[in-house]
Amino acid sequence: MNERLLIRLTQDGVPLKLDALSSEGVTLRSERDAWPRGLTLEFDTDSPITRLRMDQVRQMQGWGSKEYKLSLSLEDGALAVTGVEPRALPAGHYWFRLRIGDLVTPADRTTVELREDQVTRRDLEVRSDPRQVELLLDAPRIDPQIRRVLAETSSELDGLALLEWLRAPQPRASRKACLLNLLAKLRAVPTAGETLLAHVRQVTFADVDRCYAAIDGEFFTQVKALARAPGGSFSSERLVLAPVHRKLRRHIESIETDAAHFRLHSFRQEGGNSLQAVIAAPPDGDPSRRFYADLDIDLGNPLHDLKGFFVHLGELLSPGKTDHLKLREKLAEDQTVREFLYYRVIDE
């Protein structure tokens, strides 16, 4: 047996090749700087005969009754689905549903028949997310703190200065919305002296659900004070960090020779749509050195209530991660954040 399914993506009838595949997702169009797009493949059968064959494979492989392992790889830009070994994906009738971050894929199941010892090909028509970001950065009263961060010459994304990057057509709208939403949230957080945004020195990375920034030691001091204050607006998390947050240390390895010795601290804003800051502090918390932060916004606060926990879990499992274009509507309902949102979402 060597049954194999090849799923080829097409856009406007033209093949859309996948460049790379990893445990983190897929890359296409040689996208730079951002992490791979999340990928989820649902795969199963409605045929009793095929299900019996799958159960036989489960038994031979020693898998559980609800477990079925597949192998994913790329073949000439298409997604290849096979068994973990030649006899581990039997011929039969199946269905699948594929989701990839920032791509609109068919919502309905796609049915397929795998024939014994044959390659089965299916084309899947997809389209880019039609939503776009319309910048409002020419407003006469743009906040000076946000203007300063966007004009910082040392900040570059995809080889472009921040303002140039925001105005360029190539970066995905979801990445732009993530950066602008986070700037607005940081600007709206008051501290004893300034706001948290006042202590952001450089933006070093922007994906669809988080940004990295170089910050000064005062950012760390102020957020710790907010977490320690009675009824404070932040809390200090003592839970084990998700693997995604540990990437921050890897990110700064090219910047700091002793990156392995930076210690991670996690803080979360109270309430929904909460700002999370995972801060990498230099050895001994030396205030003369740069600190770094992994910044994101959670739709639900897993420490606040049970509902928040499940909303947060859904964000982690979604291939598109947090939808920052949609989140803009919710942030605009907060009067403290609304005035610092310098963009609109245009649905084309």
User: Do residues 181 and 340 lie in contact, with contact meaning Cβ atoms separated by under 8 Å?
Assistant: no
Calculate ∠ Cα 80-84-85, nearest 5°. 105
Q: Give me the pLDDT at residue 4, please.
A: 92
Q: Which CATH number is associated with domain 4-128?
A: 2.60.40
Is the pLDDT higher at 242 or at 99?
99
| Domain parsing of the chain, residue ranges | 4-128, 131-347
Calculate ∠ Cα 62-64-69, nearest 5°. 80
State how beta strands 291-298 and 211-215 pair. antiparallel
Please list the helix, strand and coil fractions of the chain in percent, rounded to the nearest 5, in that order. 30, 35, 35
What φ, ψ does residue 289 adopt, rounded to 5°? -100, 170
Q: Can you say how many angstroms the Cα of residue 211 is from the centroid of all Cα atoms in its chain? A: 10
Rounded Cα gap, residues 80 and 333, in angstroms: 44
Closest listed residue to residue 24, CA positions, set 241, 207, 244, 172? 244
With tokens 């996208």, the residue in question is 31
Q: What is the share, in percent, of the chain residues with pLDDT greater than 90?
A: 70
Q: Give me the pLDDT at residue 302, please.
A: 45
Asked whether the predicted pLDDT for residue 176 surpasses 90, the reply is yes
Quick: pLDDT tens for 292-348: 999 999 875 444 443 333 333 333 334 447 899 999 999 999 999 999 999 999 987
Quick: pLDDT tens for 227-275: 999 887 899 987 556 777 778 998 999 899 999 999 999 999 988 888 9
Mean pLDDT of the chain: 88
Q: Give me the pLDDT at residue 318, please.
A: 46
- Helices 324-331 and 173-188 sit at what angle, rounded to 10 degrees? 30
- 77-94 b/e (C-beta count within 10 Å ≥ 16 → b): ebbbbbbeeeebbbbbeb
Is the pLDDT higher at 85 or at 193?
85
User: Which stretch of 71-75, 107-111, 239-243 has the lowest confidence by average pLDDT?
Assistant: 239-243
Beta bridge partners of residue 295, listed in sequence order: 211, 277
pLDDT band at 22; cut points 50, 70, 90: confident
